[in-house]
A and B are shown apart, each in its own frame.
Chain A
Amino acid sequence: MTELLQFIITGLALGIVYALIALGFVVVWKSSGVANLALGQLVLISAWFTYSMLAQAQLPVWLGLPLVIIFALFLGWVIERIILRPLIAQPILSLITVTLGLGYFLQGLVGIIWPMSLAAMPPLFPKTPVRIGTAVVSQEYLWAAIISLVLFGLLTLYFRYNRMGIAMRAAADDQKAVQACGIPVTRIFSRSWMFACVLAAVGGVLISSIGNITVGLTHTGLQAFSVVILGGLDSLPGAIIAGPIIGLSETIGAGYLTPLTWPGIREVIPFIIIIIVMFARPYGLFGEERIERI
């Protein structure tokens, strides 16, 4: 029983971090219909940038972290302006592939600027773990949960009540119609990429202070894909709910399925879930099913 509690707590904690990264994906998809496969690389580069600010330049946290956010906003703006702007209204295949190229590019950039390729994030949170009953969870996770929920709340409100937010939703539906209504589509895209990069940066800081800064951070992008597929590509609540489900299935699966199968079952659980979702409910739990016309 003590184990089950620990699995649940760890699973929820892991899942909420996945959800945070997944939000960055959903924001871009929701407003521009671009599938961002460079998610993991955005996480990686912002983690390294944070490391530069806090450990190499020795800036205090109150100055360093806002600089990271500014960097992320700038990065998002540059990516949209240079790479995605020329591709507006191109077929989806080009849009997916260009983000793959972006991912490689960013990874190469990281290799050139930060050749040490492995570092520990300076401690941002107290190290003592928190006890919940018999289970233990490190403080970073609690902070991650709070930050994710706050960001989720802000984004939901933004998309529902802000004029620009509503326009972003409309842009995903029909870019030409939105443009015809006098809303600048380019500004919408630019803003959505800036949001996505900020979310990736926050995720990067949190994940790398939980683990380390390694090339492996790019893998978090893959985990986030299973979250968005389960939750629905265009659903913010879907991401927040699907994240913990994926996290729980990973830890509980690792706990109880390993003796039945081979060790390391945890590695493929998210992908097995993807396949199951594809067969059972291809547009996810909360995703909107598009009705196509010829």
Chain B
Amino acid sequence: MDLPAGTRNYSYAQDMAIFRTKTHWILLGVLILLLFAMPAYWHDWLSVVNRIGITIIAVMGLNILTGYCGQLSIGHAGFIAVGAYTSAILVQRFGVPFPVALICAGLFAGVVGMLFGVPSLRVKGFYLAISTIAAQFIIIWVIQHWTSVTGGFSGMDVKAASIGPMVFRSQASQYYLILIITIISVYFAKNLSRTRVGRAFIAVRDNDLAAEVMGISLFRYKLTAFFIGCFFAGVAGSLLAHTSLSISADYFPLTDSILFIGMIIIGGMGTILGPILGVIFIRLIDVLVTELSPALQNAFPNLPSGFTSGIAPLLFGLAIILFIIFEPRGLAHRWQLFKASYRLWPFSY
């Protein structure tokens, strides 16, 4: 059902291809063109788009960890913090070039994630969720108090990202940097899910005992999932640091970690499209409320003064609840249904 009528696969490569038909390739081309041309037509919103891009990278990692491998982590913001500070410290204090720092940020966040992932070998579900919350608090506390290295509560000033002589200072240049890394991340995640490792993750998620009996090493794959998931977080953190130009522990609150979970649920867990849709959806609600609440307040001065302030978390919570109840498979599933009905039209099956 995934392919238009009359399209047949004659080889394994064809069967495995992500972009199978000419239309696919054309649509992909148009999408990439639109994405790369965005600074031309949406310049004023680039800061929001950049934030969405960084969040997509981080949430893509969480999706590998939680959506594919089934290890619930409510401490993802803490791992982003590890990446952000690693990169900032390397660049500011040791003069390491940004691309190297970016990779190191990912690696170090991955290692820290692996450490806190060790309990996943003995516990799962809620126990693991709580231990990742603990990881978040411990990481942030260390950052706040290890003043000689991290600057403590004062945070750190960070240089703009640069590759060789190129300095990513303007919004548009930062956008391209983030866009390219986001595309690489999505590509990596999509392909990971189709490899041996990805299939092992899914087996672990669906039933880890059964997976172990089948010969999948839980130790190896759960820790790999933590490493990869937190690697993405670290890369996102590094980008965040070098585009915000200053960081402090306040950037990484627990509410963000919770928000990330909400994003993959709303988008659709265990799919590649899901996290992207989820991030865009939540971030746009956020922007909507921020930009609209002053207008609302001017238009309706009689609204209770807490209305605008309470409406954001209220809507967000409502969105999560409604999605879990009515659409547990998320926006990505809705998109699938839409595509299917488009292909089959005018028949319903």
A residues with CB within 8 A of B: 35, 37, 83, 86-87, 90, 92-94, 96-98, 100-115, 117, 222, 225-226, 229, 233, 261-264, 267-268, 270-272, 274-275, 278-279, 282-283, 292-294
Known: A272-B138, A294-B213. A87 touches B314 (CB 8 A): no
Task: Indicate if the CB atoms of B72 and A93 lie closer than 8 Å.
Answer: yes
Task: Indicate if the CB atoms of B325 and A86 lie closer than 8 Å.
Answer: yes
Other than A274-B131, A279-B122, give 19 A-B pairs with Cβ distance below 8 A. Answer: A37-B129, A97-B265, A98-B321, A101-B262, A101-B316, A101-B319, A101-B320, A103-B258, A104-B258, A107-B310, A108-B312, A108-B313, A108-B315, A112-B304, A113-B306, A115-B306, A262-B146, A275-B134, A282-B127
Task: Indicate if the CB atoms of A101 and B131 lie closer than 8 Å.
Answer: no
Task: Indicate if the CB atoms of B122 and A93 lie closer than 8 Å.
Answer: no
B295 within 8 Å of A (CB atoms): no
Known: A108-B313, A112-B314, A278-B122. A100 touches B127 (CB 8 A): no
- Chain B residue, CB-CB nearest to A228: B130
Known: A101-B320, A106-B317, A292-B209. A278 touches B123 (CB 8 A): yes
Task: Indicate if the CB atoms of B127 and A278 lie closer than 8 Å.
Answer: yes
- How many angstroms from the CA of A233 to the CA of B144 in the assembled complex? 31
Minimum Cβ distance to chain B for residue A116 (Å)? 8
B324 within 8 Å of A (CB atoms): yes
Interface of B (DSSP majority class):
helix
Which of A83, A90, A104, A263 neighbours the largest number of chain B CB atoms within 10 Å of its CB? A104
Q: Which of B92-143 contact A (CB under 8 A)?
A: 116, 118-119, 122-123, 125-127, 129-131, 133-135, 137-138, 141
Task: Indicate if the CB atoms of B325 and A100 lie closer than 8 Å.
Answer: no
Task: Indicate if the CB atoms of B328 and A115 lie closer than 8 Å.
Answer: no
Offer 13 A-B interface pairs, CB within 8 angstroms, sorted by A: A37-B129, A93-B72, A94-B265, A109-B310, A112-B311, A113-B306, A115-B309, A222-B133, A268-B138, A271-B134, A274-B130, A274-B134, A294-B207
Contacts of A293 in B (CB 8 A): 209
Contacts of A267 in B (CB 8 A): 137, 141
Pick the contact of B125: A92, A108, A278 (CB < 8 A): A92
Minimum Cβ distance to chain A for residue B274 (Å)? 14
Task: Indicate if the CB atoms of B311 and A108 lie closer than 8 Å.
Answer: yes
Task: Indicate if the CB atoms of B126 and A35 lie closer than 8 Å.
Answer: yes
Contacts of B65 in A (CB 8 A): none
- How many angstroms from the CA of A293 to the CA of B210 in the assembled complex? 9
Minimum Cβ distance to chain A for residue B186 (Å)? 23
Q: Which 10 A-B pairs have the closest CB atoms?
A: A115-B306, A108-B314, A111-B310, A101-B320, A105-B317, A104-B317, A112-B310, A108-B313, A262-B145, A271-B134
B307 within 8 Å of A (CB atoms): yes
Which of A94, A96, A97 neighbours the largest number of chain B CB atoms within 10 Å of its CB? A97
Q: Which of B241-293 contact A (CB under 8 A)?
A: 258, 261-262, 265, 269
Contacts of B146 in A (CB 8 A): 262
Task: Indicate if the CB atoms of A111 and B138 lie closer than 8 Å.
Answer: no
- How many angstroms from the CA of A294 to the CA of B209 in the assembled complex? 6
B305 within 8 Å of A (CB atoms): yes
Task: Indicate if the CB atoms of B141 and A268 lie closer than 8 Å.
Answer: yes
- Chain A residue, CB-CB nearest to B213: A294
Task: Indicate if the CB atoms of A97 and B261 lie closer than 8 Å.
Answer: yes
B318 within 8 Å of A (CB atoms): yes
- How many angstroms from the CA of A87 to the CA of B324 in the assembled complex? 8
Pick the contact of B307: A86, A102, A106, A112 (CB < 8 A): A112
Contacts of A274 in B (CB 8 A): 130-131, 133-134
Contacts of B315 in A (CB 8 A): 108
- Chain B residue, CB-CB nearest to A107: B313
- Chain B residue, CB-CB nearest to A267: B141
Task: Indicate if the CB atoms of A100 and B261 lie closer than 8 Å.
Answer: yes
Minimum Cβ distance to chain A for residue B179 (Å)? 29
Known: A111-B306, A264-B145. A105 touches B138 (CB 8 A): no
- Chain A residue, CB-CB nearest to B209: A294
- Chain A residue, CB-CB nearest to B315: A108
Task: Indicate if the CB atoms of A104 and B145 lie closer than 8 Å.
Answer: no
Please encode chain B, from 318 to 336, with 1 for each CB lying within 8 Å of some chain A CB and 0 for all others: 1111001100100000000
Contacts of A294 in B (CB 8 A): 207, 209-210, 213
- Chain B residue, CB-CB nearest to A90: B328
Minimum Cβ distance to chain A for residue B147 (Å)? 8
Contacts of B118 in A (CB 8 A): 279
Minimum Cβ distance to chain B for residue A227 (Å)? 11
Contacts of A96 in B (CB 8 A): 72, 125-126, 129
Minimum Cβ distance to chain A for residue B106 (Å)? 23
Task: Indicate if the CB atoms of B269 and A93 lie closer than 8 Å.
Answer: yes
Task: Indicate if the CB atoms of A225 and B138 lie closer than 8 Å.
Answer: no
- Chain B residue, CB-CB nearest to A84: B325
Contacts of B127 in A (CB 8 A): 229, 233, 278, 282-283
Known: A93-B72, A225-B130, A294-B207. A278 touches B119 (CB 8 A): yes
Contacts of B311 in A (CB 8 A): 108, 112
- Chain A residue, CB-CB nearest to B146: A262
Contacts of B237 in A (CB 8 A): none
Known: A96-B125, A108-B316, A112-B304. A271 touches B310 (CB 8 A): no
- Chain B residue, CB-CB nearest to A38: B317
Contacts of A229 in B (CB 8 A): 127, 130-131
Contacts of B258 in A (CB 8 A): 100, 103-104
- Chain A residue, CB-CB nearest to B119: A278
Task: Indicate if the CB atoms of B318 and A105 lie closer than 8 Å.
Answer: yes
Please encode chain B, from 139 to 179, with 1 for each CB lying within 8 Å of some chain A CB and 0 for all others: 00100111000000000000000000000000000000000
- How many angstroms from the CA of A75 to the CA of B41 in the assembled complex? 48
Known: A35-B129, A294-B207. A112 touches B306 (CB 8 A): yes
Contacts of A279 in B (CB 8 A): 118-119, 122
